[in-house]
Structure 1
Amino acid sequence: MTDSATTGILDAVTVPEGEGRPIPDAATREVIGHAPVHTVADLDRAIDAARAAQPAWNALGHTERSRLLHEIADDLEAHADELAELLSREQGKPLNGPNARFEVGACAAWTRSAADIALEPEVVFEDGPVRAEVHYDALGVVGAISPWNWPMMIAVWQIAPSLRMGNTVVSKPSEYTPLSVLALVEVFNRHLPPGVLTAISGDREVGAAIAAHPGFDKIMFTGSTATGRRIVESSANNLARLTLELGGNDAGIILPGTDVAAIAETLFWGIFINTGQTCASLKRLYVHDSLYDEVVDALAGLARQMPMGAGLSEDNVLGPLQNEKQFDVVTRLVDDARERGARIVTGGEPAPELGPLFYRATVVADIEDGAPLVDEEQFGPAIPVIRYSDVDDAVARANASEQGLGASVWSADPDAAVEVAKRLQAGTVWINNHGAINPFVPFGGVKASGYGQEFGAAGLKAVAAPKVISR
């Protein structure tokens, strides 16, 4: 069954029952549509079509491709309500707050930014008549593998800059959220020539085939570190360029003297955005002794009052875990913390009265490094709050993770915060914020959180082939 508001977009992307895989509503588990089950043979055909379409698409030039991207952004905005409601049902995030409507708006914003960012040839050497310039050409065909937590937005991060630079794209959504990305691609394809962008809704076999396929010139992947390592191995034979945005166990450090009341709500959303299911959300929080109890109480108070429930309710701002596997991860990590003697300040249990995959917003205190809830990426609505007394020790513990996607420093003293930020091993360090991203500011991880950058001019260069012209 489908809601009337989403029927139009669903009709364009779903297949009849019996011909596809049922996709449940994340909150109610009611089937909302059936996703096509594409195969490796379908992938081969999509790559062939992309390869054939790429020269003409590239020949259009930046001005025409940018004009089409602006048309697409306009169309995304025109269908924002339909897209947000489908996204809310399939992924689980509520319409309001930094959730479904926010995500669809971000799709339009990132599409426009990909169209508008200037990327002129760079003069890197000039001495009299001798001159060397770096130009950026299309790579060819891009394979884009996106995750289930921000399915539309992250797909756009991969698709829009690739198209702007003259590449064609084959996009594979997560098996958990295919309909949202199929709907997104449906809107894009109302403005693009055939073969320029194709979505392949397949299983893990199809994803593995993308990484190893000789028809791709570039692979973009957002997902787990373990899968990222497999993609690196699989791509060795064809030497496709890679952009990997992998897992993050982001640390935050609250310095002494911080005004807790002033930062509390921003801190809360840095942790619990998308019910904690965000690669670059704050996953472990180190708080100085002098502020520890105040921070724990502030977070717990906000966690208790934030409305949680089905996404289509206009009142809710926290939703369910998207799938059973992630629900089980969060449950295991919080139960382990309890068994270790950590203090469950609020939450710490499922909310079955809301639905089968809801887990209450959870604040865990009196816990140390070494507990799985601290050392592993929980990717859900549970935050461990760790006490520290020495800033150098807090920095060392924050850096002890193999991952380094994001981090944050919270302080009333901007200069002190910057000094600590310089010492943290992360691709982005925010001050008095966490997870705030900008389409014009490069974003990417270090260590086991991947490599390559997205957004801004750096993101355009990442989906292009640099060519030096010397004269």
Structure 2
Amino acid sequence: MTIDHTPRTTSTGNAGIPAALSARLATRVSAGPDAQRVQTATPFTGDLLADLPVSTPADVEAAFVRARAAQAAWAAKPVAERKAILLRFHDLLLDRQSEVLDLIQAENGKARRDAFLEVTDIALATRYYARSAAKLLAPKRRRGAIPVLTHTTELHHPKGVVAVISPWNYPLSMGAGDAIPALLAGNAIVQKPDTQTALTALWALDLMTEAGLPTGVWQMVIGRGGSIGQSLMDNADYVMFTGSTASGRRIARDAGERLIGASLELGGKNPMIVLDDADIAKAAEGAIAACFSSTGQLCVSIERLYVAESVRDEFVAAFVERTKRLKIGAAFDYSTEVGSLTNQSQLDTVTAHVDDAVAKGATVLAGGLPRPDLGPLFYEPTILTDVTPEMTLYNDETFGPVVSIYTFRDDEEAIQRANATTYGLNASVWSRDGARGRAVASRVRAGTVNVNDAYAAAWGSVDAPMGGMGDSGLGRRHGADGMLKYTEAQTVAHQRLLGFSAPAGLSDSAWAQTLTLALKTMKRIGAR
């Protein structure tokens, strides 16, 4: 593997981030003047990155009070005004991308090309929802109970104040992506980003404020879930959470107790299927993106790779060769392809999973080692084979740059093996025959399945829903669902002239016969 040792030499503050920017963003945290402080370090070197105030449960409650006060006026604004603010945010994001790319890399450790995909993602989502909101939220005529006589309308009202709990692995995509449709729908937000990547989320809030978002509509709190999580749950009207399956279960339970809604994107053990007619060169290159983007710290990343027996040797040779040529390093430019893991816990998990597999008989085809010579949290992109069920990584999510290769005899076995998991978030299928690829994809139990692509095709199709099945979560982001979940649907039905009771002068028996005849007639003429 090619190593890049080039450090960033143009930084003006800790870890390449201007000290003034870090200090200014920290002031956007909803916390008291005497708040305790927490420091974060950059994964690339372990150097100090940010010094942030810590919110208390009382700070969270106060943030919700301010958010409720601001939400009513925000919801009262015409959708066109909310749209204009979001489109200004879109332009500012693209114009100032170098600033946030530095933040993402400094906080998360990923390669710059992976950080740029977060910018692309938020630009796509912002434009889509800004230009779709009016149609999605507009009152809609619905078929009435009695044709002509029942005038029925579907309305959508904002939930109120949404709690967004966002993770560290995609600090901009998750830090802003779920806020965008919630804001356009007329909600206020109290968000708890992961502390490690809080500066990126705070930057998005800062930029949205510059674009014209009124004070109080979107607020950030910082703290551990064990400290302020309950306050978030106790005050929210809806919860959007991205994180582990274990935490998602607790949030779903607490939301159920309060009878509020929740959308949960959780873990995955995602499969990729290489059929016997796949373009092997393209599939091998696709597997690089599928397995090692963002150092494998990607909810839709591939960790199980199933290859048809007849092309197994050809694919493995191409995939291993390309993996060994990956450029690994900590450069704040586009010269590297794989960055660092984000925290010690992830490095420990990746190391433990690989060491356990090797000790139990797995074969390392590429990688397999941490790289402290590059930085404290680097780990080589790793390919394993001969992985068996007693190995931890056979079923458990690794969430790192590690993939296991298996073989299959036919399409039926490939589908069966891909579905042999409690998870169901993302999958990938490779075939030269598009119809065959789509047919296999339709039978894979996952919320998104990509044909001849790793994950970006489905994720980037923001007009279509994205989410998980089984242990991978509840609810969907993107598409109409991604906005309407932040609303309360209301039906207003206006009955005119005749109702459902017998009119004057007609017995209940005669009225029942009349309605029976009407129902039969409507069915006969094809009425819905």
Q: 1:124 aligns with which of 139, 142, 145?
A: 142
Give yes or no for contact 1:25–1:92 (8 Å, CA) kept in 2. yes
SS in 2 for 1:286: strand
Q: What is the 5 A alignment of 1:63-74?
A: 63-74=80-91
The yes-or-no answer on 1:305 pairing with 2:298 is no
Q: Residue 26 of structure 2 corresponds to which residue in structure 1?
A: 14
* Secondary structure, aligned partner of 1:166: coil
Say if 2:471 is the partner of 1:442: no
What residue is the counterpart of 1:458 in the other structure? 481
Q: 1:322 corresponds to which residue? A: 342
Residue in structure 2 matched with residue 197 of structure 1 by the alignment: 218
The letter of the residue matching 1:75 is L
Q: Which moved more, 1:204-213 or 1:167-176?
A: 204-213
1:423 corresponds to 2:443: yes
Using the alignment, how far apart are the partners of 1:345 and 1:76 within structure 2? Answer: 41
Residue in 2 that maps onto 1:161: 181
Q: How far is the alpha carbon of 1:18 from its aligned partner? A: 10
Among residues 412, 416, 419, which one is paired with 1:399 in the alignment? 419
Contact 1:9/1:83 (8 A) holds in 2: no
Aligned in 2, Cα 1:210/1:454: closer, same or farther, shift over 3 Å? farther
**Residues 1:207 and 1:270: Cα distance change in structure 2 (over 3 Å):** farther
Q: Which of these residues, 82, 86, 91, is aligned with residue 99 of structure 2?
A: 82
* Aligned-residue offset at 1:385: 0.6
Q: Which residue of the partner structure matches residue 3 of structure 2?
A: none
Q: In the aligned structure 1, how far is the partner of 2:164 from the partner of 2:236?
A: 10
- Taking structure 1 as reference, are residues 409 and 105 closer, same or farther at Cα in structure 2, changes over 3 Å only? closer
Of residues 42, 54, 58, the one that matches 1:41 is: 58
Q: Is the 8 A contact 1:80 1:105 kept in 2?
A: no
SS in 1 for 2:24: helix
In structure 2, relative to structure 1, the CA distance for the partners of 1:206 and 1:123 (3 Å cut) is: farther
Q: Is this contact kept in 2: 1:211–1:234, CA < 8 A?
A: no
Q: Which AA in structure 1 matches 2:229?
A: A
Number of aligned residue pairs: give it.
Answer: 468
1:181 to 186, 193, 201: 201
TM superposition shift of 1:86: 1.3
Q: Give the Å deviation of 1:124.
A: 3.4
Q: 1:260-282, CA deviations, whole angstroms, 9 ceiling, x for partnerless residues?
A: 01322122101111111000111
Structure 1 pair 82/384, CA: closer, same or farther in 2 (3 Å)?
same
Structure 1 residues 433 and 370 mapped into 2: Cα distance closer, same or farther (>3 Å)? Answer: farther
> Which position in structure 2 is the counterpart of 1:470?
493
Q: Rate the CA distance shift 1:239–1:20 in 2: closer, same or farther, 3 A.
A: same
The aligned counterpart of 2:500 is none
2-side partners of 1:424 and 1:257: how far apart? 18
Match of 1:51 in 2: 68
Question: Identity of aligned pairs, percent?
Answer: 35
- Spell out the pairing of 1:107-122 with structure 2 (5 A cutoff): 107-117=122-132, 118-119=135-136, 120-122=138-140
C-alpha distance in 2 between matches for 1:17 and 1:333: 42
Q: 1:380 maps to which residue? A: 400
Q: Which amino acid is 2:492 matched to?
A: I
Where structure 2 has 5 or more consecutive residues not aligned to the other structure, the ranges are 1-12, 28-32, 495-528
- Which whole-Å deviations, capped at 9, do the CAs of 1:282-334 have from their partners, x for residues lacking one? 11111111111222222211211111111414411211110000111111111
- Counting only pairs closer than 5 Å after superposition, residues 349-388 of structure 1 correspond to structure 2 as 349-388=369-408
What letter matches 1:343 in structure 2? T
Contact 1:141 1:218 in 2 (8 A): yes
| Aligned-partner SS, 1:402 | coil
Report whether the alignment pairs 1:2 with 2:18: no
| Structure 1 residues 232 and 442: CA distance shift in structure 2, 3 A | same
1:332 is the counterpart of 2:352: yes
- Contact 1:121-1:135 at 8 Å conserved across structures: yes
Give the direction of change, closer, same or farther, for the CA distance of 1:74–1:29 in structure 2 (3 Å limit): same
Give, in whole Å, the separation in 2 of the partners of 1:3 and 1:366: 40
Residue 3 of structure 1: how far off its partner (Å)? 5.9
Q: Does 1:293 align with 2:313?
A: yes
Match of 1:346 among 366, 376, 388: 366
Instruction: Tell me, yes or no, if the aligned pair for 1:80 and 1:104 is still in contact at 8 Å.
Output: yes
Aligned-pair distance for 1:448?
A: 1.0
CA distance in 2, matches of 1:315, 1:245: 32
Q: Which has the larger radius of gyration?
A: 2
User: 1:132-177 CA deviation, whole Å, 9 max, x = no partner?
Assistant: 3322111100000000000111122211100000000001101221
Aligned partner of 2:519 in structure 1 is none
Query: Secondary structure of the residue that 1:237 maps to in structure 2?
Result: helix
Partner deviation per Cα, 1:75-124 (whole Å, 9 max, x = no partner): 222321111101111110122x2x12221232233222221113133333
Aligned partner of 2:115 in structure 1 is: 100
Assess if the C-alpha contact under 8 Å between 1:93 and 1:319 holds in 2: yes
Compare 12-21 and 335-344 and name the one that shifted more.
12-21
Amino acid at match of 2:489: P
Q: 1:394-429 deviations in whole A, cap 9, x for unaligned?
A: 222211211101112111122222221121111111
- 1 CA distance for matches of 2:343 and 2:52? 16
